[in-house]
Amino acid sequence: MTTNETTLNKKILNLCVQGYSNKTIANKLGISILYSSRVLTHYFGFLGWREDLDINPLSIYNNSNGLSDFIEKVELVSPYLEKATIVEAFRICMLYKRKELKNYE
């Protein structure tokens, strides 16, 4: 993988954990939706958000103490978000933080 690909992949992952959809990520970075989806699948086992979330999962994750606390905080600011979506957001944030420590290798 080239340095440019690694940098692009990091940007895709970062935008995803901030709650952006593949469409928004693709538009922001000038890439295809398919490329964004492939990167997210490779690193997170996740196809990406269908729509932008009305929260920033990573920000909430960084200020939470575990899954229960994360769910509680998300539900306070976004009461209509489905529980499965909240749990998935927690999971990808956890993976992101682990990968961040390993430098996305």
Q: What is the DSSP string of 23-80?
A: HHHHHHHT--HHHHHHHHHHHHS---BSS--SS-HHHHHHT-SSHHHHHHHHHHH-TT
Fill in the amino acid letter for 18: Q
pLDDT for res 6: 87
C-alpha angle 104-98-71 in degrees, rounded to nearest 5: 130
pLDDT, tens digit, 9 for 90 and up, residues 62-104: 999 999 999 999 999 999 999 999 999 999 999 999 887 566 5
pLDDT, tens digit, 9 for 90 and up, residues 24-51: 999 999 999 999 999 999 999 999 999 9
pLDDT mean across residues, the chain: 93
Q: Which SS3 state, helix, strand or coil, does residue 21 take?
A: strand
Tell me the pTM. Answer: 0.91
Count of C-beta atoms within a 10 Å radius of residue 14: 14
> How far is 14 from 95, CA to CA, in rounded Å?
11
